């Protein structure tokens, strides 16, 4: 398919938007499959319970490394070729994970799954190159919806497949799907060959300069780091709450995880409203909704049906706040400059992903120390910190 078939008069086609959204979801899901499979994987590979956390941690480390050192390459290397190479790394790592005979090889595979999966963050800004200015927010919203659905569905799908065929089947099936996706993208993506103005070494060094000289990036990244930290804290601890206080089985917890899928609908809506100039209002609203989501479940901590229903409701509203604010943030930084878009996106994603990793680790600590009471209280505080920082924002600083 030629470039003119993909674009509709400088407007991205609905078909291409759907493909990019589905691709992002399928790719990023690889980061989350192992989160519900730590137990069976540890037993099969001989990992101790203490070291089992490395399965998820190394995937996250690989992802952050990829955001910082691979995503910036999209500013100097032809994007389609970079996408295909990164996806081939993912396929190889998934197959290694599926057939790893010991813990060392599986952990190595986990690291490279994270590194290669950053291709999703090459495709999101790539979509904005194909879009006209007036549809940029909608495009980001739709593509990010696919990515968020991949995150939400990954855990329950992995649990379901494991219950039928075993955990190795999760990685094998994903390798097959990503292989087919690689072939498809190599055939339909139009070429996007940036004009390199710096070497790779200078490109990496420039990350610090960009962060220092771009206040809009710092703000948006910190806003989302606080919200994503609250999101990660919630989804790390809520399975423990459901099992301890409501006696839910793993299947019940997997079904609860599907509730979060409803929050992904906020992404395209937020993108459309941002195109109409509502970014500032929606940013503050997202922070307030996230804080209220935790406040609701902090105030109602009984083991009653009402408390469980409120937990379901909070899962949806929290996910809506986080996904909506993510799209608004990405739209803002993608408007800062096309030549640095890959680096800006890499910095933005790595900062808020670190916030998510901190939220996960704080969640485990707080639940062990003070139970759901302390955990939900921290969940209230994180978005409020973002809101306080938001109140210092001036309309002239470029964050719209």
pTM for the full predicted model: 0.78
**Domain CATH for 10:** 1.20.1250.20
Same domain, 189 and 293: no
Same domain, 53 and 188: yes
> CA 26, 333, 187: angle at the middle one, nearest 5?
40
pLDDT of residue 3: 41
Same domain, 177 and 325: no
Eight-class DSSP state of 7: B
Q: What is the mean pLDDT of the segment spanning 217-229?
A: 94
Q: Which residue, of 147, 175, 196, is where some domain finishes?
A: 196
pLDDT of residue 43: 83
Q: Which residue, of 139, 166, 196, is where some domain finishes?
A: 196
Rg, C-alpha atoms of the chain:
20
Residue 344 has pLDDT above 70, yes or no: yes
Residues 262 and 380: their CA atoms lie apart, in Å, by 21
What is the distance of C-alpha 197 from the center of its chain?
Answer: 30
Same domain, 186 and 234: no
Same domain, 88 and 182: yes
Q: Six-digit token pair at 303?
A: 């083991």
User: Backbone dihedral region of 371: left (phi > 0), alpha (psi from -120 to 50 degrees) or beta?
Assistant: left
User: How would residue 111 be classed by pLDDT, with cut points 50, 70 and 90?
Assistant: very high
Q: Which of 100, 119, 122 is nearest to 110 (CA)?
A: 100
pLDDT of residue 128: 78
Q: Which of 4-13, 64-73, 265-274 has the highest mean pLDDT?
A: 64-73
Same domain, 17 and 77: yes
Residue 230 has pLDDT above 50, yes or no: yes
Q: What is the mean pLDDT of the segment spanning 239-262?
A: 78
- How much of the chain, in percent, has pLDDT values that exceed 70? 93
Question: Which pLDDT tens digit goes with each residue over 46-83?
Answer: 887 556 667 777 888 899 899 889 988 888 889 999 99
Q: Which of 182, 297, 279 is nearest to 230 (CA)?
A: 297
Domain interval for residue 285: 205-400
Helix then strand count (H, E) for the chain reads: 16, 0
Which is more confidently placed, 367 or 95? 95
Residue 5 has pLDDT above 50, yes or no: no
Q: Which of 377, 356, 352, 176 is nearest to 294 (CA)?
A: 377
Same domain, 190 and 239: no
Count other C-beta atoms under 10 Å from residue 385's C-beta. 17
Task: Kindly tell me the sign of the dihedral angle through the C-alpha atoms of 224, 226, 227, 231.
Answer: positive
pLDDT of residue 53: 60
Same domain, 14 and 123: yes
Same domain, 159 and 245: no
Same domain, 284 and 390: yes
Q: Are 151 and 28 in contact (CB under 8 A)?
A: yes
Which is more confidently placed, 265 or 285? 285
Domains identified in the chain, total number: 2
Range name among 103-107, 238-242, 250-254, 330-334 with the lowest pLDDT average: 250-254
pLDDT of residue 51: 67
User: How would residue 199 be classed by pLDDT, with cut points 50, 70 and 90?
Assistant: confident
Residue 263 has pLDDT above 80, yes or no: no
Same domain, 143 and 249: no
Residues 94 and 91: their CA atoms lie apart, in Å, by 5
Q: Which residue, of 142, 161, 196, is where some domain finishes?
A: 196
Question: Which pLDDT tens digit goes with each residue over 148-176?
Answer: 788 878 878 888 888 889 899 999 999 99
pLDDT of residue 52: 63
Q: Are 287 and 386 in contact (CB under 8 A)?
A: yes
User: How would residue 8 be classed by pLDDT, with cut points 50, 70 and 90?
Assistant: very low
Q: Which of 82, 326, 118 is nearest to 200 (CA)?
A: 82
Q: Six-digit token pair at 173?
A: 């099936």
Which is more confidently placed, 39 or 316? 316
Q: Six-digit token pair at 63?
A: 């992802």
Same domain, 238 and 177: no
Residue 24 has pLDDT above 60, yes or no: yes
């Amino acid at each position: 398919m030629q470039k003119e078939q993909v674009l509709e008069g400088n407007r991205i086609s609905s078909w291409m938007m759907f493909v990019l959204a589905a691709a992002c979801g399928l790719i990023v899901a690889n980061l989350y499959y192992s989160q519900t499979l730590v137990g069976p994987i540890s037993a099969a590979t001989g990992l101790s319970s203490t070291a089992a956390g490395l399965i998820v941690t190394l995937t996250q480390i690989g992802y952050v490394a990829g955001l910082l050192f691979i995503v910036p390459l999209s500013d100097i290397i032809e994007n389609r070729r970079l996408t295909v190479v990164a996806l081939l790394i993912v396929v190889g790592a998934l197959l290694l994970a599926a057939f790893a005979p010991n813990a060392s090889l599986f952990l190595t595979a986990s690291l490279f799954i994270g590194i290669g999966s950053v291709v999703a963050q090459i495709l999101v800004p790539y979509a904005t190159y194909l879009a006209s200015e007036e549809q940029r927010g909608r495009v980001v919203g739709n593509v990010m919806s696919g990515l968020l659905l991949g995150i939400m569905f990954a855990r329950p799908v992995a649990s379901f497949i494991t219950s039928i065929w075993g955990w190795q089947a999760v990685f094998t099936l994903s390798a097959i799907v990503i292989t087919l996706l690689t072939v498809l993208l190599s055939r339909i993506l139009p070429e996007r060959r940036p004009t390199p103005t710096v070497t790779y070494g200078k490109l990496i060094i420039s990350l610090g300069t960009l962060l220092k000289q771009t206040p809009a990036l710092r703000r948006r990244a910190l806003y989302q780091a606080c919200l994503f930290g609250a999101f990660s804290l919630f989804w790390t601890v809520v399975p423990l709450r459901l099992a301890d206080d409501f006696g839910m089985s793993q299947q019940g917890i997997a079904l609860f995880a599907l509730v979060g899928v409803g929050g992904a609908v906020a992404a395209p809506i937020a993108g459309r409203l941002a195109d109409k100039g509502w970014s500032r209002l929606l940013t503050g609203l997202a922070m307030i909704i996230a804080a209220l989501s935790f406040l609701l479940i902090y105030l109602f901590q009984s083991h009653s049906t009402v408390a469980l229903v409120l937990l379901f409701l909070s899962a949806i509203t929290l996910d809506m706040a986080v996904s909506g604010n993510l799209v608004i943030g990405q739209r803002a930084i993608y408007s800062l400059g096309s030549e640095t878009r890959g680096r800006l996106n890499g910095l933005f994603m790595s900062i808020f992903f670190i916030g998510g990793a901190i939220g996960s680790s704080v969640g485990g600590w707080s639940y062990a120390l003070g139970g759901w009471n302390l955990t939900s209280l921290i969940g209230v505080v994180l978005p409020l910190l973002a809101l306080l920082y938001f109140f210092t924002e001036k309309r002239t600083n470029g964050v719209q």
